[in-house]
Amino acid sequence: MADYGNLGRFYINGEWVAPSQGATLIDVINPATEQSVAKVPLGTSADAEKAIAAARAAFPGFSGWSAADRLALLGRIRDVYESRLDEIAEAISTEMGAPLAMAKSDQAWSGLGHIEATMTALKAFSFEEQRGSTLIVHEAIGVAGLITPWNWPMNQIACKVAPALAAGCTVVLKPSEIAPLSGILFAEILHEAGVPAGVFNLVNGDGPGVGQVLSSHPDIDIVSFTGSTRAGILVAKSAADTVKRVAQELGGKSPNLILADADLASAVAGGVEGCFANSGQSCDAPTRMLVPRERHDEALAIAKETAEKLVTGDPRDPATNLGPVISQVQYDKIQALIASGIQDGAILVTGGRDRPEGLSQGYYVRPTVFGGVTPDMRIAREEIFGPVLSIMPYDSEEQAVEIANDTVYGLAAYVQSGELEHARAIARQMRAGQVHINSPDWDLFAPFGGYKQSGNGREYADWGMRDYLETKALIGHG
């Protein structure tokens, strides 16, 4: 296990520095054991100011680097990152409870994938375009304040930091204070890769102490935030006074529309597994499964069988499919929403309240499937962020599309059909930033972001780079 020797320090201006006097120490809790595994200081506004000043000072030099030099830097970061994959997976599993195998194959790998996708995008990206006598130039927007979540910690760090550096921006990163171990390792990776002083800075802290400073500070030119819609609203309000760019990836309540011509057994089973992956803690999880009413009972039976085959338990056990959820707060929220589903009259197909049998310690949630869910129920409208699936019957495709779009969110949607053209036609009617047709592979070059209260802006590869670029017109350039 990594020793996390830099946990008590922040990475500012190319050095590991002690926090400002009076910094509060908080415990990093392993959600599988409910025990503290480390302590980290919460940064203050003074720490954030130092990091912002370092990034501002480094910006003129770094933004002048050629694309080839930035590409070479990303290549060095990729190589160091790859050499530390096992450490990264260990850190993620420890801090947020992902099964160790999944922490490596999905969680840690995603960071590497985003770095490589950004490199591919940078090679092909055109920073200048001639239109008549006007030259259109895309140049780095400035200093980027990045605020990342705990549920996919390295995925979100990499898909923000890599495009920001590729664009020529300098960075101040505030990872989640609940899951800071992987962020510390990321800073170590960038230091080893030779990122110039001030180009990348890391300050641990909470929203009020550091996040608010990043979102409101006049020397931050863009704030990119991933987290809850509630917190995203606060970030946007805080950023408004300085009229900075705000990019947000927020909550979701994604529909999974299974059409009548789909293979019901594989579609339902895949939908259950997709919803419960990462213990249901993914913003784009397919949490609302829509099935034809005449096949509703059949779908419930398939979902029950699939859910009850999944093993919830110790993240270090190779047999484990679902680890714990992140915290006591999250556990309590999920339990309350399960209770609301029962109270509102949904059919409890499997799972339910309290921990799975045999697990008396850790924030473990029973994989839960509800049937007969109607659009007015809380479990159909609120983001649960746990292993809870709502199966909703529909009477026609028109009604199914209406139910699917009847949400304040619009991050993702899923369509399953035996006929590709049929699926394509329905997919076009989904009001979501990503629509997955017939369970495709993860595409790190597809734009990721949402409609409505799921946010604004797009991430991944060149789509992420665009958020960190300004557009300048040199009129009469010739």
Q: What is the C-alpha to C-alpha distance for residues 166 and 428, in angstroms, rounded to an integer? A: 32
Q: Is 381 within 8 Å of 371 (Cβ atoms)?
A: no
DSSP 126-193: -SEEEETTEEEEEEE-SEEEEE--SSSHHHHHHHHHHHHHHHT-EEEEE--SSS-HHHHHHHHHHHHT
Q: Note down pLDDT in tens along the chain; length 478 residues.
A: 455 678 899 999 999 999 998 789 999 999 999 999 999 999 999 999 999 999 999 999 999 999 999 999 999 999 999 999 999 999 999 999 999 999 999 999 999 999 999 999 999 999 999 999 999 999 999 999 999 999 999 999 999 999 999 999 999 999 999 999 999 999 999 999 999 999 999 999 999 999 999 999 999 999 999 999 999 999 999 999 999 999 999 999 999 999 999 999 999 999 999 999 999 999 999 999 999 999 999 999 999 999 999 999 999 999 999 999 999 999 999 999 999 999 999 999 999 999 999 999 999 999 999 999 999 999 999 999 999 999 999 999 999 999 999 999 999 999 999 999 999 999 999 999 999 999 999 999 999 999 999 999 999 999 999 999 999 999 999 8
Gyration radius of the chain over CA positions: 23
Q: What is the C-alpha to C-alpha distance for residues 228 and 326, in angstroms, rounded to an integer? A: 15
**pLDDT value at residue 22:** 78
Backbone angles phi, psi at 254, to 5 degrees: -75, 130
Collect all residues with Cβ–Cβ distance below 8 Å to 109 and sequence separation of at least 6.
Answer: 85
Q: What is the C-alpha to C-alpha distance for residues 94 and 115, in angstroms, rounded to an integer? A: 23
Q: Which residues of 230-266 are buried (b: 16+ CB within 10 A; e: fewer)?
A: ebbebbbebbeeeebbbbbbbbbbbbbbbbbebebee
Nearest C-alpha neighbor of 271 from the set 259, 284, 286: 286
**pLDDT value at residue 5:** 72
Cα separations (Å) of 352 from 50, 237, 283, 320?
48, 38, 22, 19
**pLDDT value at residue 1:** 43
Q: Which of 159, 169, 275, 283 is catalytic?
A: 283
- The pTM for the full model equals 0.97
Active site residue 283: yes
**pLDDT value at residue 262:** 98
Q: What is the C-alpha to C-alpha distance for residues 339 and 365, in angstroms, rounded to an integer? A: 13
Domains of the chain: 10-250+454-474 (3.40.605.10), 255-444 (3.40.309.10)
**pLDDT value at residue 125:** 98
Q: What is the C-alpha to C-alpha distance for residues 6 and 17, in angstroms, rounded to an integer? A: 9
Active site residue 249: yes
**pLDDT value at residue 6:** 85
Q: What is the C-alpha to C-alpha distance for residues 183 and 116, in angstroms, rounded to an integer? A: 19
Q: Is 467 within 8 Å of 222 (Cβ atoms)?
A: yes
Collect all residues with Cβ–Cβ distance below 8 Å to 265 and sequence separation of at least 6.
Answer: 302
Q: What is the C-alpha to C-alpha distance for residues 443 and 447, in angstroms, rounded to an integer? A: 9
Cα separations (Å) of 14 from 17, 188, 195, 225, 338?
9, 10, 8, 24, 47
* The pair of three-digit structure tokens given for residue 417, joined into one six-digit string: 């059909």
**pLDDT value at residue 3:** 59
Helices (H) and strands (E) in the chain, counts: 16, 20
Q: Provide the CA 468 distance to its chain's centre, in angstroms.
A: 18
Q: Which of 249, 275, 383, 459 is catalytic?
A: 249
Q: What is the C-alpha to C-alpha distance for residues 420 and 438, in angstroms, rounded to an integer? A: 8
Q: What is the C-alpha to C-alpha distance for residues 374 and 361, in angstroms, rounded to an integer? A: 34
